[in-house]
Amino acid sequence: MSSTPTPHRWLRWPEDRATPRLGFGADYNPEQWPREVWAEDVRLMRAAGVNIVSVAIFSWARLQPTADTWDFAWLDEIMDLLHANGIAVDLATATASPPPWLTTAHPEILPVTANGETLWPGARQHWRPTSPVFREHALRLVRTMAERYADHPALTAWHVSNELGCHNVYDFSDDAADAFRDWLRERYSTLDELNHAWGTAFWSQRYSAWDQILPPRLAASHPNPTQQLDFKRFSSDALKSYLRAERDVLRELTPDVPVTTNFMVMGETKGMDYVDWADEIDFVSNDHYVLPGVQAHDELSFSANLTGHIAGGLPWFLMEHSTSAVNWQPINVAKKPGDLVRDSLTHVAHGADAVCFFQWRQSRAGAEKYHSGMVPHAGEDSEVHRTVRELGATLGALAEIAGSEQVPARAAILFDWESWWTSELDSHPNNSLRYRQEALDWYSAFLAAGVRADVVPARSDFSGYDVVVAPVLHVVPGALAERLQAFVEAGGHLVTTYFSGIVDQNDHIHLGGYPGAFSDLLGIRVEEFAPLLEGETVLLDDGNEGSLWSEPITVTDASVEVLAWYKTGEQGGRPAITRRPVGSGSATYVSTRLGTGLEPLVRSLLDDAHLPGDLPATVRGKVELAVRGTAEHEFWFLINRTAEQVDVDGVTGDVLVGRRSGGAPDATVVLAPRGVAVLRRPKA
């Protein structure tokens, strides 16, 4: 993380800046439509309560038809039209996808895969993050845009590029090789340091000159793991450097306009270390698309929660999600009734102060024509568009929450990009391990137990929590081990799992037995991992079933309690889950993958830590609670996780969204299937 965080600066609304409001809108791509549609667009936007749109994201070829010609007339007209209708513009720098004239003249900007294949134009984002030629052309466009629109009253924020790294995070070209070497020189100073960090004594990999070093291109066998890890760090940094280059031009020309770029904190998108990027922009934005599966809504909540903590608990911008189906999954299913509003409000519950969609009007042509929009192919007279209007009204009713911050929970789940990258490298004991899924499973268990948990970067200050879960915290440099030790000694309850504490920042093993950095704290020692085969499971004596992993644990500290024993399999009769009391705190270890079986364990941990949850036991697991707050108020979001009506008794507060069954201040809050209620309560 950079040492001097950028202060948070929110949207510069065009007029009446004091009026609190939540942003509501979409990516707006008027260049895909004839001019006569534009007036219809703004009429519908106004009717739906849209107050902000992102414009020009993929407009480079239209704005600069050749190297030396420009066409801004249409964008001038759109900016004026939107402003005249009270709609603010989050203006893209338009650099996301280079135009054909540029790639024809300069094919050396095209990315190259690990196999040496060129990624040709024809789709989008076909540019090398490290290409000096691309950067020169892109920054010229950024400068031209900033000069032209600096004083336009609709300009409310800058949107750098689009989803940096969505398709081009890993480029193995010669440009990347040069930049990788520079990055390595900066990190290690000397080749001796690099050779040590990469463990090049192994397999005759010792480097004697910098120009021998390459990105981890397709190799005869497993590429050097630290080379792979450093290439991941470098690739994230290369895009961050590009982000800064655009941002610096914008700051120079329009210092009062906040700058953002849309992250992709969702699913398995792991190439960009957003915790490290967040300080580079004025406010965090995120794109989120629901992934099908039983944990679909939990994953949404998890991503929103993590985004909010990447944003430091301050408001952030949901730049994209979908009104209904997307086009890029193998089968693209429409959202069910209730999902559109619940998905949106779940993001708001976790700190989003703007709710936008991809995209305003569903495309008629192109690769995304089957992707839903706020105005679908069916037009204004459609269920999707009616629901969009309903959402606009709901967000209007929530205007007073704008600017409120997230109220910290008492439990946290640590999330760490370095551990994500490293634990999933190849040539490991079990290559089926999925880091993010582990963290998500713990989050689901907290949701099922009805207790709030924050998803926080491992680099953040977690010392104020009562319970910290660190699933598969694989990379543990000394300072992190010390912080966790201090947390426990101060009375905190730490839970960690298999494959945690194993390596340092160079991916070198902490010697002396596993789990390395945590052995003493946990009071256990493991000599060998015992991964389980695909489909193989083991029973625990508490009735749970483990998969993926097991370990022969030796208890080394007399105070350690065994919470569960292996009953079957090679480890039968040995400890599976252990807990070492440390003063009023504790250190718990889970040596197998429990998946959906985590809930009872979470409940007992919460009992030990005296964290009963804030909602009545009758709705435990059925309702997610998320809390935002100001100096005077708390805003409680009650989110129905089920497809049935849920009645929540005994919760007081003024209802901003939703309904009670009667007039009494604590009358039952009735949550429709997949429904959400929002209550305003005095600050606790």
Q: Which residues bind ligand GAL (CB under 6 A)?
A: 162-163, 166, 287, 289, 320, 326, 358, 368, 371
Q: Any catalytic annotation for residue 320?
A: yes
- Residue placing its CB nearer to ligand GAL in the complex, 25 or 216: 25
- DSSP, residue by residue, 286-330: EE--PPPSTTHHHHHHHHHHHHHHHTTTS-EEEEE--SS--SSSS
How far apart CA 493 and CA 585 sit, in angstroms, is 5
Least distance from C-beta 164 to ligand GAL, angstroms? 10
Q: Chain centroid to CA 279: how far?
A: 15
Least distance from C-beta 332 to ligand GAL, angstroms? 10
- Residue placing its CB nearer to ligand GAL in the complex, 126 or 371: 371
Residue labelled with tokens 């690769």: 367
Least distance from C-beta 64 to ligand GAL, angstroms? 19
For residue 198, the tally of other CB atoms under 10 A from its CB is 25
For residue 40, the tally of other CB atoms under 10 A from its CB is 14
Residue in 447, 349, 451 with CA at minimum distance from that of residue 407? 349
Gyration radius from the chain CA atoms: 26
Phi, psi at residue 87, to the nearest 5°?
Answer: -110, 125
Q: Any catalytic annotation for residue 163?
A: yes
How far apart CA 202 and CA 175 sit, in angstroms, is 27
How far apart CA 521 and CA 489 sit, in angstroms, is 10
Least distance from C-beta 96 to ligand GAL, angstroms? 8
Least distance from C-beta 362 to ligand GAL, angstroms? 11
- Residue placing its CB nearer to ligand GAL in the complex, 133 or 326: 326
Q: Which of 246, 280, 320, 418 is catalytic?
A: 320
Least distance from C-beta 56 to ligand GAL, angstroms? 12
- Residue placing its CB nearer to ligand GAL in the complex, 236 or 500: 236
Instruction: Report the alpha-carbon angle 148-8-10, nearest 5.
Output: 50
Structure tokens that stand for 626 in this block: 């998320």
- Residue placing its CB nearer to ligand GAL in the complex, 70 or 370: 370
Structure tokens that stand for 136 in this block: 């020169």
Least distance from C-beta 162 to ligand GAL, angstroms? 5
How far apart CA 453 and CA 468 sit, in angstroms, is 9
- Kind and range of the H or E run holding 578: strand 575-582
Instruction: Report the alpha-carbon angle 382-386-390, nearest 5.
Output: 165
Residue 2 DSSP SS3: coil
Q: Which residues contact 275 (CB under 8 A, 6 or more apart)?
A: 1, 310, 417, 457, 459, 460
Strand duo 676-682 + 262-263: pairing:
unpaired
Q: Which of 163, 424, 551, 624 is catalytic?
A: 163
Do 411 and 450 contact (CB within 8 A), yes or no? no
Identify residue 574 by its one-letter amino acid code. Answer: R
Least distance from C-beta 550 to ligand GAL, angstroms? 39
- Residue placing its CB nearer to ligand GAL in the complex, 321 or 474: 321
- Residue placing its CB nearer to ligand GAL in the complex, 142 or 264: 264
Strand duo 52-55 + 88-92: pairing:
parallel
- Residue placing its CB nearer to ligand GAL in the complex, 368 or 520: 368
- Catalytic residue ranges: 163, 320
